[in-house]
Amino acid sequence: MSTATIPEAQRGYFPTWKLKTTGVIMPEERLPWGQTIISGSQHAVAMAGGTIIAPLIMGFDPNLALLFSGVGTLIFFVAVAGRVPSYLGSSFSFISVVIAATGYSGHGPNQHLDVALGGIIAAGVLYGVMALIVMQSGVGWVERLMPPVVTGAVVAAIGLNLAPVAVKSVSGSQLDTWIGLFTVMVVGLTNVAAPGIWRRLPIIIGAVAGYLLYLLLANRLGFGKPIDFTALAAAPWIGMPKFRGPSFHTDAMFLIAPVAIILVAENLGHIKAIGVMTGRSLDSFLGRAFLGDSLATIVSGFGGGTGVTTYAENIGVMAATKVYSTLLFATAAIVSILLGFSPKFGAIILSIPSPVIGGLSIVLFGLIAAMAGRIWVENKVDFSNPRNLITVAAALIAGAGDLTLKFGAFAMGGIGTATFGAIILYQILAWNRSLE
């Protein structure tokens, strides 16, 4: 990869975003304003699927999640001086620990949302501490502490830990099961065979298709519980979101805070991937990127939103369009904020039937687990090495089986056990270098 640096003329705090209409559009360049708005809106749509589905699974308000994803993206934009193209959306890494900390049943609003918000803020603070350390000392210690074999193991453990949540959502009845499987099929076919930009929207298209089929079978033909449109009819088009405040409980904070380690790994991979795509190293912005993400998560937690993270979906859109202008993400953020002030939009999202959410969850949670394989393959992790093999084996089973460790009144769930277990076990096994 090229280690090209930022051009001399672009070395103010923010770029000047020189106009360019053809070829590859670099982060400090821009398209004409009309195209910038359209392309930015496209990014917002591509990110909306995950940003909306994650809060629904945890019982959060999707309007607040969208609003704070936009606010968080702008915070990130300022933190990295407008030089790293990235969108922050709802992080799926929080789902398992939030459900465990709040005892959420999977239906309707989460009655203990305040407990989860305190934990999300704790994760953001821990993330911020790590960001400040990276800004002072570099990212080398992070890469040594969490090499690809460890980060892959933790990512896989998260996906496997969430599997029962997804399966439960499609197991209420035979209709629920078939609607869930139909949704999975539509998502898969869209991702594989849809033309153009539609291929970048499999979650949204899958949700719409599953919703319409459920509407036909339940509301029209009476094969299931009909969708209730009362709240949708009553919701205004424009209105203030219902902000929620946090409460701080030590056990929930200790359970949720370790997710910060996953956010670091996600953000690190994201920055590295963009560097490869643009042919320009962005390593000098890693600390700022971590700090922007951490501040965005803290702000979101104080207002009732989910924890946020950099999104892989926007890498796909950038790869397809070859447009890396950071102004697109400021535009996408503004679009998300505007949608956050539409109760009607939120009511539409909340009316999505549970089996449709379940079908989307099967795909999304499976993709989280499968992403581990990509991490291992791309980084050529050697599984003939016992150190790697044992670390991964222990983490996968601890996460999938939700192995809980208790320390007095404090309990660490499967995600935390798998995360810290993988990190600690990998380092302990380093005592015998002959295993290398």
Ordered per-residue pLDDT tens for the chain, 436 residues: 444 445 544 567 888 899 988 888 888 988 889 888 887 886 776 676 678 778 888 889 888 999 999 999 999 999 999 999 988 988 877 887 888 888 887 677 888 999 999 999 999 999 999 999 999 988 788 778 888 898 888 878 877 887 887 888 888 889 999 999 999 999 889 888 888 667 767 777 888 899 999 999 998 888 888 888 888 888 888 888 889 899 999 888 988 888 888 788 778 877 877 777 777 878 889 899 999 999 999 999 999 999 998 876 667 667 766 788 899 899 989 988 998 898 888 788 778 888 988 888 788 778 778 878 877 888 889 999 999 999 999 999 998 888 888 776 566 777 778 888 898 999 998 776 654 5
How far apart, in whole angstroms, are the C-alpha atoms of residue 36 and residue 85? Answer: 13
Let me know: does 360 contact 206? Beta carbons within 8 Å.
Answer: yes
Query: Which residues have C-beta within 8 Å of that of residue 279, sequence separation ≥ 6?
Result: 1, 2, 4
What are the boundaries of each domain within the chain?
23-435
Which residues on adjacent β-strands are paired with residue 29? Answer: 18
The single-letter DSSP state of residue 32 is: -
Count the neighbouring beta carbons within 10 Å of the beta carbon of residue 382: 12
Using alpha carbons, select from 130, 57, 138 the residue that is nearest to residue 90.
57
Helix (H, G, I), strand (E, B) or coil at 432: coil
6 backbone φψ class: left, alpha, beta (φ>0; ψ -120 to 50): beta
How far apart, in whole angstroms, are the C-alpha atoms of residue 16 and residue 341? Answer: 31
How far apart, in whole angstroms, are the C-alpha atoms of residue 87 and residue 69? Answer: 8
Count the neighbouring beta carbons within 10 Å of the beta carbon of residue 99: 21
The pLDDT score that the predictor gives to residue 316 is 64
Let me know: does 91 contact 50? Beta carbons within 8 Å.
Answer: no
Radius of gyration of the chain (CA): 21
> What DSSP string runs through 27-54?
TTEE--HHHHHHHHHHHHHHHHHHHHHH
How far apart, in whole angstroms, are the C-alpha atoms of residue 401 and residue 116? Answer: 22
Residue 58, token pair as written in the block? 């945890």
Using alpha carbons, select from 70, 311, 213, 73 the residue that is nearest to residue 62.
70
Let me know: does 182 contact 209? Beta carbons within 8 Å.
Answer: yes
The pLDDT score that the predictor gives to residue 435 is 47
Cα–Cα distances (Å) from 415 to 154, 250, 420, in that order, read 8, 17, 9
C-alpha distance across the termini of the chain, in Å: 27
The pLDDT score that the predictor gives to residue 49 is 66
Helix (H, G, I), strand (E, B) or coil at 110: coil
The pLDDT score that the predictor gives to residue 290 is 94
Helix (H, G, I), strand (E, B) or coil at 59: coil
Residue type, 135: M
How far apart, in whole angstroms, are the C-alpha atoms of residue 245 and residue 304? Answer: 6
Cα–Cα distances (Å) from 150 to 44, 137, 260, in that order, read 31, 21, 15
Using alpha carbons, select from 36, 113, 42, 67 the residue that is nearest to residue 300.
67
Using alpha carbons, select from 208, 190, 210 the residue that is nearest to residue 200.
190
Cα–Cα distances (Å) from 147 to 79, 193, 233, 235, 379, in that order, read 26, 35, 51, 48, 9
Which phi and psi (to 5°) does residue 336 adopt? -65, -40
Count the neighbouring beta carbons within 10 Å of the beta carbon of residue 370: 12
